[in-house]
Amino acid sequence: MAKLILNRLLLGVLTLFAVSVLIFVCTQILPGDVASAVLGQGATPEALVIFRKELGLDVPAYLRYFNWLSGALHGDLGVALTNKRVIVDEILPRLGNTLFLAGYAAMIAIPVAVGLGIFSAINEGKLSDKLANIITLTAISLPEFFIAYLLIIFFAVEVDWFPSLSTVFAGMPFSERVYQTTLPAITLTLLVAAHMLRMTRSSVLSVMSTPYIEMAFLKGAKRGRVIVRHALPNAAAPIITVIALNLAYLVVGVVVIEAVFVYPGLGQLMVDAVSKRDVPVIQACGLVFAMVFVMLNTLADILVILVNPRLRHKR
């Protein structure tokens, strides 16, 4: 088991290294000149030359990558081009806001999705199961920004329960922060809960035809007890995987939601950096997103190994 876990960790590190290369290459091949975009069209040729040298654009690309990667490994992500602030100081509070929103949504989505998924499996083919399928398919089919605007129109404009813009700041009372982030958290919950509910239902139903489940029914056990006590533990691996993927989405995929609600998270920071052509900030945000995604997926792989004994033994 230790060898399997070590292999997963090594694979996660290699994946993160490959993603860092991809992030750097994609930001370097963007059309246009970074120095001209930052200084503006009125910049003199001498100012452009000095600024390119300051950015390190006068050295080969592979050296710039290794310098950037070396700094990132030591916690130095550089300085923002627009405001000359240290990028780490810019990212940390934004990352905290994003993690707060993701955690808030996860606390709602995971128990609701897993609970309703088990309930749908117990009531397979009944009206409640069909309604759950219709609702989840509808939530999956609608774009995330469309769901966000629908919620804003109803909850912020029509009934005026929540603000349309999620304004949070350091030192804000916890209750007020929860209130401000409720609407984007509900939006994220609707997006991820549908996937987790369907996976929970299908994973539980996939083991219902196995011999030990049939034996439990022959002994007179009720369907709900069989699912909870026997089917659910053996269906845990795919459920854990889909939960980890959706948790990663709650952190990595919140760019659109944060832009809609003007929420001061890491996604909004990345959007602002793209509009200003602030390449170091874009690279730093992309690297942080990649780290979170890889870490959650690696954690999911390790948990699957721990809960599934068959993966710990050679076939």
| C-alpha neighbours within 13 Å on the C-beta side of residue 58 | 7
Residue 37 predicted with pLDDT over 70: no
Distance CA 155, CA 252 (A): 25
The alpha-carbon radius of gyration of the chain (Å, integer) is 24
Q: What is the mean pLDDT of residues 85-92?
A: 86
Nearest 5°: CA angle at 130, between 222 and 199? 75
Distance CA 216, CA 206 (A): 16
User: What is the four-CA torsion angle of 21, 24, 25, 31, rounded to 10 degrees?
Assistant: 170
DSSP state at residue 86: B
Residue 129 predicted with pLDDT over 60: yes
pTM of the model: 0.79
Give the percent of the chain with pLDDT over 70. 87
User: What are 280-312's pLDDT values in tens digits?
Assistant: 888 888 888 888 888 888 887 777 777 666 655
Domain 87-312 has CATH 1.10.3720.10: yes
Give the percent of the chain with pLDDT over 90. 0
Residue 102 predicted with pLDDT over 70: yes
Confidence of residue 40 (pLDDT cuts 50, 70, 90): low
How much is the mean pLDDT over the chain? 80
- Residue 57: what pLDDT? 66
Residues near 143 by beta carbon (within 8 Å), at least 6 away in sequence: none
Residues near 58 by beta carbon (within 8 Å), at least 6 away in sequence: 52
- Residue 38: what pLDDT? 61
**Which of 47-61, 148-162, 230-244, 247-261: highest mean pLDDT?**
148-162
Distances (CA, A) of 244 to 73, 165, 187, 298, 303: 25, 28, 18, 9, 10
User: What are 171-225's pLDDT values in tens digits?
Assistant: 888 888 889 888 988 888 888 888 888 888 887 777 776 777 777 777 777 777 7
Distance CA 137, CA 238 (A): 19
Residue 315 predicted with pLDDT over 60: no
Beta strand residue intervals within 146-272, DSSP E: none
- Residue 257: what pLDDT? 87
User: What are 270-279's pLDDT values in tens digits?
Assistant: 888 887 778 8
